[in-house]
Amino acid sequence: MKKIAIIGAGISGLCIANLFKDHKDYQVTIYEKRNSIEMEEGYGIQLSVNSVKLLNKMGFTSFDEKEKFNPKKIDFYEIRNSKKICDLDISKFNSEDCKYTTLKRSKLIQFLKNKLDENIIKYNHSIEQIDYDKDSIKLIFNKNKITCDYLIISDGVFSKGKSLIASNKSKPIYNDTIAIRGSISRENLQNINEENISLFLGADFHCVVYPINNNKNCNFIGILKHKLSSNEQENHNLFTESSFVKNIKLKLSQKVSQSFLQSLQNIQLFPIFVSKNLYNPPKNIFLLGDAFFAFSPSFAQGASQSIEGANELYECLINNNNFYDIRLKRVKMINSRSNFNQFAFHLSNPIMTTFRNIFLKLLTNNKKFLQSYLGKIYKS
């Protein structure tokens, strides 16, 4: 039996463990640095049909209907005048049991965790050292040492596992944007269709509001352009410092209405770091999820790609195919779309935004374009 060690119990690590857990030829163990799985309540996640299809294989069809939502459209608005630009029917990519889904991130994590035996996850295991040669892989954690046949590194965008094998050559870079996360009650949302995803476009800022279940609360995520000095980027406490939070809220108040800002709850700020380059690890070591490549969030594909990547890696290991090359193609395609979305969503020049809006109206009704821009991603 081959031993697989997985570093990190996020969406990607939990997914790959779920895929291998019943395979008689493999034994999986997840090593997680925290003392429990991160279950921060409240914040939402979008799953496009490509990942829902794969989750269904893990039993997602029986996921509680009350705890998820299936938006039909993305409604595009201009922030400055709240005027609707156009809408995009994402339900066109749905099938009977496979629909674009929004839900709380914690509910997805809980679903993936509950499908695993308790003893698969070893908590309080932070990776310290990785030694490998062509025959074996040795891992050193703060407490103990283990050996394995395959190592899957899925410890997120700031992957320590990756920096250990890549000698810090593949660090993520700050994307000059801050994510503002929060929740908002449906009753505070006026003039929008609360059954859909609402995407507001503004100068150097865009935000998205969507329901995460059948209850009252909606998820809010804003992406604000904001430069940080290198000292600020290194400062892990910056995003909870009251003067910094106040400054960002002030910037936000210039983008959204006062009443909207006041109805936002549980606001939290996160710097957005993205991958700059790719790293092909040595034999029998694999990077997964954000550790493989972290995208800008403007295409909402991070979690879906973590799920898709896990499935690809499973298939590749079983069939002895080259995972890196297969994943690379997908990553390049999604990364270019994510970067283009961010550029188009944040335009500030009035002439450019007028053209953008005209194109948006045309393209959201153009079947060929939608098939090529979204269909290629959603129907993998």
Ligand X SMILES: Cc1cc2nc3c(=O)[nH]c(=O)nc-3n(C[C@H](O)[C@H](O)[C@H](O)COP(=O)(O)OP(=O)(O)OC[C@H]3O[C@@H](n4cnc5c(N)ncnc54)[C@H](O)[C@@H]3O)c2cc1C
Quick check: 148 binds ligand X (CB under 6 A)?
no
The 3-class SS string of 181-198 reads EEEEEHHHCCCCCCCCEE
Q: Which stretch binds ligand X (CB under 6 A): 77-85, 123-131, 187-195, 234-242?
A: 123-131
Binding mask 45-64 toward ligand X (x if CB under 6 A, else -) reads xx------------------
From CA 219, how far away is CA 17, in angstroms rounded? 28
Q: Which stretch binds ligand X (CB under 6 A): 4-12, 20-28, 325-333, 357-365?
A: 4-12
Sequence-ordered list of residues with C-beta below 8 angstroms from that of 131, at least 6 positions apart, any chain: 137, 138, 140
Q: Please name every residue paired with 287 in a beta bridge, in sequence order, or none if there are none.
A: 153
How many residues bind ligand X, per CB under 6 A?
35
Do 47 and 55 meet the contact criterion of CB atoms below 8 Å apart?
Answer: yes
Give me the least distance between CB of 362 and ligand X, in Å please: 26
Q: Which stretch binds ligand X (CB under 6 A): 57-65, 183-191, 293-301, 314-322?
A: 293-301
Give me the least distance between CB of 24 and ligand X, in Å please: 26
Nearer to ligand X, 155 or 312 (CB): 155
Nearer to ligand X, 175 or 353 (CB): 175
Quick check: 156 binds ligand X (CB under 6 A)?
yes
Give me the least distance between CB of 35 and ligand X, in Å please: 10
Give me the least distance between CB of 286 and ligand X, in Å please: 12
- The correct pick among 88, 90, 120, 127 for binding ligand X (CB under 6 A) is 127
Q: Please name every residue paired with 47 in a beta bridge, in sequence order, or none if there are none.
A: 101
Quick check: 10 binds ligand X (CB under 6 A)?
yes
**Binding residues among 239-278 for ligand X as defined by CB under 6 A:** 270, 272
Do 155 and 161 meet the contact criterion of CB atoms below 8 Å apart?
Answer: yes
Sequence-ordered list of residues with C-beta below 8 angstroms from that of 26, at least 6 positions apart, any chain: 1, 2, 3, 4, 20
- The correct pick among 4, 13, 207, 212 for binding ligand X (CB under 6 A) is 13
A 10 A CB-CB count for 315 gives 13
Quick check: 302 binds ligand X (CB under 6 A)?
yes
| Residue in 362, 341, 100 with CA at minimum distance from that of residue 201 | 341
Quick check: 308 binds ligand X (CB under 6 A)?
no
Sequence-ordered list of residues with C-beta below 8 angstroms from that of 68, at least 6 positions apart, any chain: 101, 102, 103, 107, 212, 213
Quick check: 304 binds ligand X (CB under 6 A)?
yes
Quick check: 287 binds ligand X (CB under 6 A)?
no
- The correct pick among 301, 311, 338, 341 for binding ligand X (CB under 6 A) is 301
Sequence-ordered list of residues with C-beta below 8 angstroms from that of 159, at least 6 positions apart, any chain: 8, 153, 287, 290, 291
Do 288 and 279 meet the contact criterion of CB atoms below 8 Å apart?
Answer: no
Quick check: 40 binds ligand X (CB under 6 A)?
no
From CA 310, how far away is CA 295, in angstroms rounded? 16
If you search the block for the tokens 């090593």, which residue do you land on?
31
The residues binding ligand X (CB under 6 A) are 7-13, 31-34, 38, 45-46, 125-127, 154-156, 160, 179, 221, 270, 272, 289-291, 297, 300-304, 306
